[in-house]
Amino acid sequence: MKIKKSRLMQIIQEEISRLNEEDKYSDLNLDALALAAKEDPNAMGPLLGRLLQMPMIKRQAFKIAKGNEADAEDALQDMAIAIVNNLNSFRGDSAFSTWATTVVRNK
């Protein structure tokens, strides 16, 4: 599934605004949520919400941006797009965080 940057930001903003609300995916671990997102577009928001809060993803964005916060935001968005666009290749053989980090590094 390909997703445009503007739509991705809309999904992220919607999910951030719902973080305190309960949803049917709240009990899923990140790996299960990633597998669910492959089948159910409604799981994409919670997945992105959790993904963008992961310290290793944030660190990678700051590393790419060489510490510039505004550039790190852009890098984070680009990383999220790369992960979403490659989500169909996630099989669950490894932890989602490991897979996501690999996708970001190979982008």
Residue 20's pLDDT is 47
pTM of the model: 0.67
- Specify the higher pLDDT residue, 2 or 51: 51
Closest to 25 in 3D by CA, of 1, 38, 42: 42
Residue 24 above 60 pLDDT? no
Q: What is the mean pLDDT of residues 93-101?
A: 85
Residue 22: which pLDDT band, with cuts at 50, 70 and 90? very low
Residue 5 above 50 pLDDT? yes
Rounded distance between C-alpha atoms, residue 31 and residue 95, angstroms: 6
pLDDT, tens digit, 9 for 90 and up, residues 60-91:
888 888 988 888 888 888 888 898 889 889 88
Residue 37's pLDDT is 83
Contact 12, 48 (CB under 8 A): yes
Q: What is the DSSP string of 18-56?
A: HTTS--TTTTS-HHHHHHHHHH-GGGHHHHHHHHTT-HH
